[in-house]
Amino acid sequence: MAELTYRDAVARGIAQELERDDSVIFFGEDVAKAGGVFKATVGLYDTFGPKRVRDCPISEQAILGAAMGAAMTGMRPIAEIMFSDFMAVCFDYVANEFPKVRYMSAGQFGCPLVVRTANGAGSRFGAQHSQSIENWAMMIPGLKVVAPSTPVDVVGLLAAAVRDPDPVIFFEHKSLYATKGEVPDGEIIDTLGTAKIVRPGKDATILALALMVPRALAAAEELAEKHGIDAEVIDLRSLVPLDTQAILASVEKTGRLFTVEENPRLCGWGAEIASIVADEAFWDLDGPIVRITTPHIPLPAADNLEDIVLPTVPRIVETVRTSLG
């Protein structure tokens, strides 16, 4: 057992898969000798060499085009898009190419690849480098969408993503890179589409993803200590596949549902979950589903304004407290 930062867990997860399978390759902008702009891939180039770990030109289309070609011809590439915002530059591959290969070839080809990308706000990168875009990806049939919140989940879910037969978008939250957690020794492999109950409770269900998970946990502790509200917190970890059974079971127990979403409110992932719960568990609800989100605005450049628009612990506490009466 070792304590690793989230960023070190990324390097460990990639190294585990490179060591295990010779068909795994890794490439992106500045990921090799420089170790990545967030220093999440330090040491991989020295360990595995230039044939397995490669730097690419500043061309997101070229990176994902190379990944797709490699995946269709027997490799299992891990491609990095430096900031998730840049997925807009190469969205044709994400929306029109990767997810359609298996279907349009009648199963003759697969596209087993992983696109790693740094997602989310809180690190002062401004409106064009701080978006939380997991809701963009989850709407596309054929993609799997993962967003871990802890170092151990980074390693385990990355392994599951690399070994999956279909394309996976793997969101790493840039404001979590410095956080630490215990990671067991040896090989770690997790399962896509499985949520984790990170705090059991009986009065309300709080769903969160990535950076919002530690905030939801802190809010739940404050709700218990100061207001006598016992909230269950679920780390979704994966949006596609979505662990609907874990969500529905929790709502059946608590009777109330709150989502804590970093994405803008309009068409956020919580809206889809609210729809599912309203369809399948309406009679288990004792009150309305409440979404706690970022407003539908570009993220402000000013530090204090960026902090205000993101869901915060005080806002989560106040919203849950007032909603439960």
Over range 224-235, report the average pLDDT: 98
Distances (CA, A) of 38 to 83, 176, 295: 10, 11, 27
Mean pLDDT of the chain: 97
Which amino acid is it at 210?
Answer: A
Long-range contacts of 216-221 (CB under 8 A, 24+ apart): 216/260, 216/316, 218/313, 219/260, 219/313, 219/316, 219/317, 219/320
Q: What is the pLDDT of residue 200?
A: 98
Handedness of CA 21, 27, 31, 34 (dihedral sign): positive
Give the mean model confidence (pLDDT) for residues 228-237.
98
> Within a 10 A sphere around the Cβ of 245, how many other Cβ atoms?
11
Model confidence at 1: pLDDT above 90? no
CATH number for 196-324 (one of 3.50.50.60, 3.40.50.920, 3.30.70.141, 3.40.50.720): it is 3.40.50.920
Same fold? 2-183, 196-324: yes
| Confidence tier at 303 by pLDDT (50, 70, 90) | very high
pLDDT in tens, 70-116: 999 999 999 999 999 999 999 999 999 999 999 999 999 999 999 99
Domain boundaries, the chain: 2-183, 196-324
Question: For 10-24, what is each residue's pLDDT tens digit?
Answer: 999 999 999 999 999
pTM of the model: 0.97
Confidence of residue 185 (pLDDT cuts 50, 70, 90): very high
pLDDT at 261: 98
The encoded tokens of residue 274 equal 């609210």
Residue 251 CA to residue 232 CA, distance in Å, equals 10
CA dihedral sign, ordered 117, 302, 216, 315: negative
Q: pLDDT for 117-168, tens place per residue?
A: 999 999 999 999 999 999 999 999 999 999 999 999 999 999 999 999 999 9
Nearest to 4 by CA among 186, 152, 176: 152
Q: How far is CA 270 from CA 95, 144, 257, 292, in A?
A: 21, 17, 10, 9
Q: Which residues are catalytic?
A: 129
Q: Any long-range contacts for 58-67 (C-beta under 8 Å, 24+ apart)?
A: 58/29, 60/86, 60/87, 60/89, 60/90, 61/89, 61/90, 61/92, 61/93, 63/27, 63/28, 63/29, 63/90, 64/90, 64/93, 64/94, 64/97, 64/98, 64/115, 65/93, 66/27, 67/27, 67/113, 67/115
Describe the crossing of helices 313-324 and 212-227 by its angle, rounded to 10 degrees.
Answer: 50
Give yes or no for residue 325 having a pLDDT over 90: no
Q: In the CATH scheme, what is the code of domain 2-183?
A: 3.40.50.970
